[in-house]
Amino acid sequence: MWHCERKVYSCRAWIHTNAITGDVRKNLGDHNHDSNATKIEVVRMVTAAKEVNTNEGTAQVINHMVQNLEQAVQGQLPSGHALKKVVR
């Protein structure tokens, strides 16, 4: 079962998924806000940063990953300090 990350803003959207396949079984409620496509890209970048296994320095890894992102996405990234903790 997953709830919208904007639950704190009174969004009551939920989905029930199959734990094995990940398929959506039930969709409950509607979102009461617009979607945020840049947030999806931020999550992808941070997830990829967690999986990096390299001998490069932390700052080099972050710079390499950030250079191809759109400015709107770059503006939504966590702070440099927080990103460094993710990459370590």
Order the strands of the 24-28 sheet from edge to edge. Answer: 2-3, 14-17, 24-28
Q: Which tens digits make up the pLDDT trace of 12-36?
A: 787 788 778 878 888 888 877 666 6
Angle at 81 (CA atoms; ends 56, 60), nearest 5 degrees? 20
Instruction: Kindly report, residue by residue over 48-80, the tens digit of the pLDDT.
Output: 877 777 777 888 888 888 888 888 888 888 888
Q: Would you say 86 and 47 are in contact if contact means Cβ atoms under 8 Å apart?
A: no
pTM over 0.75: no
Q: Domain limits of the chain?
A: 1-34, 37-87
Band of residue 81 on the pLDDT scale cut at 50, 70, 90? confident
Find all residues with CB under 8 Å of 15, minimum gap 6, and list them.
Answer: 1, 2, 24, 25, 26, 27, 28
What is the rounded CA–CA span in Å between residue 34 and residue 7? 13
